[in-house]
Amino acid sequence: MMTLQEIAQYTVEQAIKAGAQQSDVYLEKGRESEVDVRMGELETLKQATSKGLGLRVYCGNRLGFAYTSDFDKKSLSNFAKRTVEMAQEISPDPNNVLPPTPKVPSYPDLDLYDPEVASIPIEWKLKTAKEMEAIAMAYDKRITNSNGASVSDGESESVIANSNGIVHSYMSSFCSLSCSPVAEENDKKQTNYWYSSKRFFKELDSPESVAKEAARRTVLMLGAVKPKTQQVPVVFDPQMAASLMGIIFYSLNGDSIMKRSSFMVDKLGQKIATDKLTMIDDALMKRGLGSQPIDDEGIPTTTKVVIDQGVLKMYFYDGYSAHKAGTQPTGNARRGYASTPSIGAWNLYLKAGEQTPEEIIRSVDNGLYLTRTMGFGVNMVNGDFSRGAAGLWIEKGELTYPVEEATIAGNILDMLNNIPMIGNDLVFRSSYAAPTLRIDNLTVSGT
């Protein structure tokens, strides 16, 4: 029986034999498990395995793509031949070329796989989900309902192979806990959530801490009112600040830059933010939730400073967009076996500052502590930002009462230049992370 690496290599070879000038394969085989509980009862129990192989072939700038889950040798040979035949019917595009993929002596071991994840008992998952929900509901008598609690985990092996001689595989795992209680007071309901997600099982936050934080965040919002419309500082909690980093990343997509459909066009090398702000995309972080030693087109990944003390240093490119722009790929191609690559971040984060979150809140005489946004509400062409918002109102440096049904509005470039304080509370809960941020001169609309 062939190994997964041998299957990937064989498929590439068969594509070349069938007439392709270049070819690459992304193969993935994995397992996922999820246990969902609601109101003490099991709602979902899912255990699934999956495998698939995505093949790209290049025939005179004609691109063919197909995927299969049949790893039989004869089937793969026929599959590769059909994919080449399909490519020969496609219109040519001069940018359809396999990106240059340098061979390296070795790829770093990023410690992405925990074998213990595969042996977490289903009984433990069910018991833990029920415990989290029970702890959340016992936190406050006003918590009367639940959107549920869940425990999930998974593991996979990924293989990248191409006709340039690249073949590499790596194992990864993940596990997570989440809880979402519902509280009610004066016939008004509030819901919130909290979670923990890690590569390694023993590094998860305790189920009790996840449940209590979910309950605390839910109860805090009871009695929320609409704020008055005014221009004030807004303190973004780490979750909201991380969401903002995601918007900035999308504005730096090389494809959008070429189409001039991003507010970051012509900003390379320019100061676009306060000098307090440094943003990094790190694919090589040990045990990082977004880490990979090689991107999904076979290019070695790196640690990249994207914004350095306010100065924009780079845009992001996969192979296609880089060739079109006349530049080099940045090692940010991401894909599943059933799709062609697109541009994605790895571990994207904002470098921590010096102030504690409490110091940042104390610095605000009148403003909003933002804990939730709704809707996308960003014009990627001009950077105008407008989103539904909820959180806690700050008066004289203290969190006072909850607010909801508000809208915060500004312009992303103005916002990036109006950040007087950055927190020291950087924690990675996902592949996007940021500390607490204070952003001045935002319009909060309510009554």
- Tally the C-alpha atoms within 13 A of residue 219's C-alpha that lie toward its C-beta: 15
Helix axes 122-139, 207-220, angle to 10 degrees: 30
Q: Convert the pLDDT of each residue in 196-240 to its tens digit.
A: 999 999 999 999 999 999 999 999 999 999 999 999 999 999 999
Q: What are phi and psi of 195, to 5 degrees?
A: -155, 165
pLDDT at 355 > cutoff 80: yes
- Which contacts qualify for 70-76: CB closer than 8 Å, 24 or more apart? 71/2, 71/7, 73/2, 73/10, 76/7, 76/10, 76/11, 76/14
Instruction: Give residue 439's Cα distance to chain centre.
Output: 23
Q: Convert the pLDDT of each residue in 18-32 to its tens digit.
A: 999 999 999 999 999
Chain-wide mean pLDDT for the chain? 96
**Both tokens assigned to 170:** 């790596």
Cα 285 to Cα 8, 110, 131, 302, distances in angstroms: 27, 7, 32, 10
Query: How many Å apart are CA 292 and CA 15, to the nearest integer?
Result: 26
Confidence of residue 371 (pLDDT cuts 50, 70, 90): very high
Residue 416 · residue 274 · CB < 8 Å: yes
pLDDT at 350 > cutoff 90: yes
Give the pLDDT score at 101.
86
Confidence of residue 269 (pLDDT cuts 50, 70, 90): very high
Give the pLDDT score at 407.
96
Give the pLDDT score at 1.
83
Cα 189 to Cα 184, 237, 243, 336, 384, distances in angstroms: 4, 22, 25, 39, 31
pLDDT at 376 > cutoff 80: no
Rg over alpha carbons for the chain, rounded to the nearest Å, is 24
Q: Is 48 exposed, middle or buried (0-12, 13-18, 19+ CB in 10 A)?
A: exposed
Q: Convert the pLDDT of each residue in 167-183 to its tens digit.
A: 999 999 999 999 999 99
Cα 400 to Cα 299, 366, 394, distances in angstroms: 50, 10, 6
Q: Convert the pLDDT of each residue in 34-46 to its tens digit.
A: 999 999 999 999 9
Average pLDDT on 411-427 reads 97
Domains of the chain with CATH codes = 4-220 (3.30.2290.10), 230-244+352-445 (no CATH), 264-349 (no CATH)
Give the pLDDT score at 116.
97
Average pLDDT on 71-79 reads 97
Residue with tokens 């599943």, as numbered in its chain: 336
Confidence of residue 102 (pLDDT cuts 50, 70, 90): confident
* Of 242, 198, 422, 241, residue with least CA distance to 348: 242
Please give the DSSP secondary-structure letter assigned to residue 271. B
pLDDT at 342 > cutoff 90: yes
H or E element at residue 78: helix 73-87
Q: What is the reported pTM? A: 0.94
Give the pLDDT score at 109.
95
At a CB cut-off of 8 Å and minimum separation 6, what does 384 contact?
378, 409, 410, 411, 412
pLDDT at 446 > cutoff 90: no
Residue 173 · residue 114 · CB < 8 Å: yes
